Amino acid sequence: MTMDPLLAAAVAALDVTDEPRALTTHHTHAWRAGRWKIKSTADPAAAVLLLHEARAVRLLHAQGLHPAHAEHGRVGDGIWTAVEFLPGVDLWQWCAPGRAPDPPPDFAPRLLTVAHRAFTALEHLNGAGWRHGDLQPWNILIGPTDEPVFVDHEYTHHPDLLPPAAPYRGGMDHATTPGVAQRLLHSAPDTHIRLTPADERHALAAALRWAWTGTTPQTTRDVGPGVTLDDLLEDIATGRHHVSLAQARPWPAPELEALIAHATSAPD
């Protein structure tokens, strides 16, 4: 079978000898090859996001803020990017045993450790001028030693990066914090939303709550029939469909709940 030209270029540039394989059965332009996760596209809009992520990861790695390195290249109008593969599972999957009423005995202390480590990592990231821009349970990788790593940097911004091609208007809908929702509702579609460290801390706390409880952190509704994106943002901004953590939690965890409450009660 003939290899995709962009994939072939990436494999050659990276000196990979292993046979590339699709990341999942649903991926047609994303592969695992050796120690790399490779993506490719000939679509200009998708290329902008892929290149932005690769450049962000390279700079983060150079600053000692991310364990993975990244590379990228071009073939004609197409581009490929490669980010080093990191072992672990996303926070959502990692928390699955803890969503039961009777979790494993070591789960609660491990989750609290992960939470503290994640907030420390975020403080270092924000302190160096970075904003991740899309903190959610699927963008936080938990490694074999319970070390959290923030991944998927399509929306990451930093003064030393080229400005994003489009204004930042938030990440995943349900990961939007109340303060950001307010700004989205009261600004034009071409307005760049500037995130603060408090916005990011709130988003991280909400991601931890989401993964632990299994329920969306700000509203019970989803965009769909009868619910627009503006409706969802209004839910988040006003708290009109918010379920308290005391109601959503699978079991009491006073220290974790206090940590989440502190981060989500600070002005964002």
What domains does the chain contain, in order, with CATH numbers? 5-84 (3.30.200), 89-265 (1.10.510.10)
CA dihedral 187, 193, 198, 200 (to 10 degrees): 130
pLDDT at 28 over 90: no
pLDDT tens-digit map of 201-230? 999 999 999 999 999 999 999 999 999 999
Higher-confidence position of 156 and 2: 156
pLDDT at 23 over 90: no
Q: Looking at residue 166, what is its pLDDT?
A: 85
| Cβ partners under 8 Å of residue 76, min gap 6 | 42
Task: Calculate the average pLDDT of the chain.
Answer: 94
Q: Looking at residue 219, what is its pLDDT?
A: 95
Mean pLDDT, rounded, for 78-105: 96
Token look-up 């046979």 returns 19
pLDDT tens-digit map of 136-190? 999 999 999 999 999 999 999 999 987 777 899 999 999 999 999 999 999 999 9
Q: Looking at residue 59, what is its pLDDT?
A: 97
Helix axes 197-213, 254-265, angle to 10 degrees: 140
Q: Looking at residue 163, what is its pLDDT?
A: 77
Q: Looking at residue 266, what is its pLDDT?
A: 57
Rounded alpha-carbon distances, angstroms, from residue 112 to 2, 148, 153, 199: 49, 12, 25, 21
